[in-house]
Amino acid sequence: MEQQKTNIIQTIDRMQHELLALSHQIHDHPELGYEEHQAVASIRSFLEDRGFQVETPYCGLDTSFKVVKKGKGPGPRIAFLAEYDALRGIGHGCGHNIIATCAVGAFMGIASLIDEYDGEVSIIGTPAEEGGAGKVILLERGAFDETDYALMMHPSGGGSNLVGRGGRAATRIRVSFHGKAAHSSSPSNGINALSAAIHVFNQIDLMRSTFQVQDNINGIILEGGTAANVIPELAKCEFSLRAETMLRIKELIRFVTSCIEHAEALTGAKAEVSVEPIYAERYPNKPMCQAFKNNMESLGIQMTWAEPGKLYGSSDIGNVSIKIPAIHDYLSITDDKTIQSHSKEYTKADATPQADEICLKGAKGLAMTALDILESSEFRSEINAYHDAQVPKEYR
Ligand SMILES: [Zn+2]
Ligand SMILES: [Zn+2]
């Protein structure tokens, strides 16, 4: 096993320049969710140049893909998950260029030795994590039906390498209120769509003291009229909802929906509502996390266990972690504690020599953890038993 881990490290080191070129290429061409055509093309040509067949579009999504390398017989099917979407106006401020490159590097590390094992290794390209719920759509279309274990990493900052971190459930609600325009000198001739929108905000704030500690609803107004002397006929707003569980998110959706209905009844404006698929809370698989932690520590990266119950953010890996054992652990790409994720400063930090070094180590750590899974049926039993005990029965 140790010799095989050394082989993985050497394989990834041999292609480090090409892997980092891929990371920088994705970084320098940020694309929003479901528009990641250049990122997928770059990953695809990297893999095709090395003799792999890439299936894309995958499950009907143009910017999803899957590549598989089979071992000598049937066995555990391990997928590395790649994300590659960026943030509007910020670029790769969440470091998904590094996630994608780690997945590719880890795949290459395992592909070089899978011939000796039963099982298979793949990369599943998962678009639109930052909004659009790519993994939720992929799950609905069966993209993970032939996968037993999902592994990915996520860049973090401030020197914080967290393992086993959870994530809250989340969704977004978008509302358009349609009213009737009128001269502002006689507002009673119109229906004020902006008033309806503001009423939704006020009702949410009124009830905020009844929220649970983990609940959060935050809203923005996207459109609220065009001139102050015209009664707005259209107002658009969007709300981000977070809660400890998917079940609680469903209650919050009902609450916001009732606020919208009250605003309609009060003002006469008509609402058009769309709710994004729910990002589930996360169930990190502890045995897999422990293996990843051990492997990263053998590469010189110390990791700490995350505290449970903190006000963590959300990701669609949560939905995957309900279906199959999954990890999504955090590797810091900068020691600067003032640099926050989702900022332009973080975008710059994602392609520095320090970020590059972590990217290669992340790829190695993921591949080494996949090797642990391939090597030991006892370890797989431990992972599977933990998963079965951890995920609530009502989700099965
Ligand atoms: Zn993000
Ligand atoms: Zn992210």
In 233-269, the DSSP E strands lie at 234-243
Query: To which residue do tokens 């999954």 refer?
Result: 326
Ligand whose nearest atom lies closest to the CA of 96? 2
Question: How sure is the predictor about 154, in pLDDT bands with cuts at 50, 70 and 90?
Answer: very high
Question: How many whole angstroms from 136 Cα to the centroid of ligand 1?
Answer: 16
Question: How sure is the predictor about 109, in pLDDT bands with cuts at 50, 70 and 90?
Answer: very high
Question: How many whole angstroms from 88 Cα to the centroid of ligand 2?
Answer: 13
Which string of DSSP letters, residue by residue, matches 262-284?
A: HHHHHH--EEEEEEPPPBPPP--
Structure token pair of residue 4 = 């095989």
Tell me the average pLDDT across 182-204. Answer: 97
Nearest 5°: phi and psi at 286? -60, -45
Question: How many whole angstroms from 341 Cα to the centroid of ligand 1?
Answer: 7
Question: How sure is the predictor about 219, in pLDDT bands with cuts at 50, 70 and 90?
Answer: very high
Query: To which residue do tokens 């391990």 refer?
Result: 78
Helix (H, G, I), strand (E, B) or coil at 6: helix
* Whether the Cβ atoms of residue 79 and residue 124 lie closer than 8 Å to each other: yes
Question: How sure is the predictor about 53, in pLDDT bands with cuts at 50, 70 and 90?
Answer: very high
Ligand whose nearest atom lies closest to the CA of 153? 2
Structure token pair of residue 130 = 């930052």
pLDDT value of residue 388? 97
Question: How many whole angstroms from 129 Cα to the centroid of ligand 2?
Answer: 7
pLDDT value of residue 134? 97
Q: What is the pLDDT of residues 239-261, one digit of tens each?
A: 999 999 999 999 999 999 999 99
Question: Across all residues in the chain, what is the average pLDDT?
Answer: 97
Question: How many whole angstroms from 216 Cα to the centroid of ligand 2?
Answer: 19
- Residues 393, 322: Cα–Cα separation, whole Å: 10
Tell me the average pLDDT across 350-355. Answer: 97
Ligand whose nearest atom lies closest to the CA of 340? 1
Nearest 5°: phi and psi at 343? -130, 165
Q: What is the pLDDT of residues 123-142, one digit of tens each?
A: 999 999 998 999 999 999 99
* Number of other CB atoms surrounding residue 202 within 10 Å: 12
Nearest 5 degrees, angle CA 179-CA 183-CA 189? 55
Question: How many whole angstroms from 344 Cα to the centroid of ligand 1?
Answer: 12
Question: How many whole angstroms from 130 Cα to the centroid of ligand 1?
Answer: 6
Question: How sure is the predictor about 309, in pLDDT bands with cuts at 50, 70 and 90?
Answer: confident
Question: How many whole angstroms from 188 Cα to the centroid of ligand 1?
Answer: 44
Question: How many whole angstroms from 202 Cα to the centroid of ligand 2?
Answer: 31
> How many helices and strands, by DSSP H and E, does the chain display?
12, 14
pLDDT value of residue 391? 96
| Whether the predicted pLDDT of 396 surpasses 90 | no
Nearest 5 degrees, angle CA 129-CA 135-CA 141? 150
- Residues 346, 156: Cα–Cα separation, whole Å: 9
Q: What is the pLDDT of residues 322-349, one digit of tens each?
A: 999 999 999 999 999 999 999 999 999 9
Ligand whose nearest atom lies closest to the CA of 81? 2
Tell me the average pLDDT across 138-151. Answer: 98
- Residues 83, 86: Cα–Cα separation, whole Å: 9
Question: How many whole angstroms from 230 Cα to the centroid of ligand 2?
Answer: 41
- Residues 303, 43: Cα–Cα separation, whole Å: 29
Question: How many whole angstroms from 2 Cα to the centroid of ligand 1?
Answer: 35
Question: How many whole angstroms from 147 Cα to the centroid of ligand 2?
Answer: 22
Tell me the average pLDDT across 282-310. Answer: 96
Strand order in the sheet with 169-178: 216-224, 234-243, 169-178, 270-275
Burial of 272 (C-beta count, 10 Å sphere; 0-12/13-18/19+): exposed
Question: How many whole angstroms from 315 Cα to the centroid of ligand 2?
Answer: 8
Question: How many whole angstroms from 337 Cα to the centroid of ligand 2?
Answer: 18
Question: How many whole angstroms from 108 Cα to the centroid of ligand 2?
Answer: 23
Tell me the average pLDDT across 296-319. Answer: 95
The identity of residue 125, as a single letter, is: G
Question: Torsion over CA of 124, 88, 221 and 319, rounded to 10 degrees?
Answer: 10
Q: What is the pLDDT of residues 359-391, one digit of tens each?
A: 999 999 999 999 999 999 999 999 999 999 999
Question: How many whole angstroms from 305 Cα to the centroid of ligand 1?
Answer: 21
260 bridge partner residues: none
